[in-house]
Amino acid sequence: MAPHEIRRPFKRPAISDQHKRRELSLLRQAQNRRDAQQHARCLASSVVSLQAPDPEPISEPEIADEPIVESESQSTPRDIDVRQASKLKGYEARRWFARQLMLPEWMIDVPDRLSNDWYVLARPSGKRCFVVSSGGTTVSRLRNGSVLHHFPSALPNGARTRDVSGSAQSYCILDCIFHELDQTYYVIDMVCWRGYSLYDCTAEFRFFWLNSKLAETGACDSPSPYHRYRFSVVPIYNCDQTGLYTVYTGAVPYVKDGLLFYNRHAHYQTGNTPLALVWKDENCSQYVIDTDSKGQVPSQQQVVMELQDDGNLTTSDDPPVVFGCLDGDFIQKTFAKEQNIKNIGRNIADISVIGGGRSDILHR
């Protein structure tokens, strides 16, 4: 019998790129945690050594005072950004908030240990936004950083008549979806609470605090003159058979727009992350395919791809996923009017998918 005939008659399933990136994200989190612990140990040992008797105490304060301030500001840049974010205005505010949301990737495979390591929730239809309460007022900002609403709320330091016993420097940041039909902010995650940052906390801890802390403030109560919009926590389930069935088929008080999956060990990472996934089909979302302004489904579905220098058409994922490749002659003819052909990678191509897989490429 030939050697190759005794091998297994089947191939090992290929590990998806998304699966690899999930593992890398979790490894980076663990490494960052170890680095933070090492930094804390070094800081503690430095403090102890500074308390020891020194033969030259007069010159020591001048040498040690300035570096301590610099290291503190450099070690927590994100905390400083969070504290200052509520004071930003105009373009700077839009720029900062546009980069802060944790954005899910499309679910293209079934994660390992789905029932043990993942949560699932029914995503409300509406406008994704950050809600920030600080300085006696509350502001909600969309994904592009622009202001959606400016209003008083029962959140910590969210209205001038609320939280009089709390610190004037406290603030709160919630990840929400504003549902137009019932004028409600549905909270899907908690980023900061009373000045305490939850960026480096696991989803399991963030969801626990979200369910326990938000109800204490009265933010889930009906609207009032000092609490203009109602907040509501989206129910979160373990991603087992019961939880999946509940969120997929169960009734919710809002229009459902797909399912959101969160890895219970995931920190709040800004930008796209494979540790948060979204799933949509015709049974759990009315926005599975594009519709026109009248709500009608067009004859062609379009997706925007980026044309790279080597002719590859890719998605905006990180790393990008290659969709196809264009012939060099076609590129030269199509983009002959471009003044600088070397910058062709910055152009955008519309891929209109028709019927059984054939694609038309329309440059704009």
CA distance 164 to 183: 27
pLDDT in tens, 254-283: 999 999 999 999 999 888 899 999 999 888
Give the model's confidence band at 11: pLDDT under 50 very low, under 70 low, under 90 confident, else very high: very low
Contact by Cβ (8 Å): 186, 126: yes
Give the model's confidence band at 253: pLDDT under 50 very low, under 70 low, under 90 confident, else very high: very high
Amino acid 358: pLDDT: 37
- Indicate the DSSP class of residue 307: E
CA distance 48 to 66: 18
**CA-to-CA separations, 132 to 82, 124, 195, in angstroms, rounded:** 10, 20, 11
Amino acid 239: pLDDT: 95
Averaging pLDDT over each range in 107-111, 169-173, 313-317, 344-348, which range is the top one?
107-111
User: 20 φ, ψ to 5°?
Assistant: -65, -40
Q: How many CA atoms, within 13 angstroms, populate the side-chain half-sphere of residue 67?
A: 7
DSSP 313-331: EE-SSSSPPEEEE--HHHH
pLDDT in tens, 118-167: 999 999 999 999 998 988 889 999 988 888 999 999 998 888 874 444 56
Amino acid 84: pLDDT: 64
Amino acid 118: pLDDT: 96
Question: Exposed/middle/buried for 209, CB within 10 Å: 0-12, 13-18, 19+?
Answer: middle
The length of the chain is 364
CA triplet 291, 296, 299: central angle to 5 degrees? 80
Contact by Cβ (8 Å): 318, 103: no
- Indicate the DSSP class of residue 227: B
- Average pLDDT of the chain, as a whole number: 75
Give the model's confidence band at 104: pLDDT under 50 very low, under 70 low, under 90 confident, else very high: very high
> pTM of the full predicted structure?
0.67
For the segment 190-213, the average pLDDT, to the nearest whole number, is: 92
* 8 alpha-carbon distance from chain centroid: 42
pLDDT in tens, 34-84: 776 665 556 445 444 444 454 454 444 443 333 333 333 333 334 435 556
* Tokens of residue 71, six digits: 């290291």
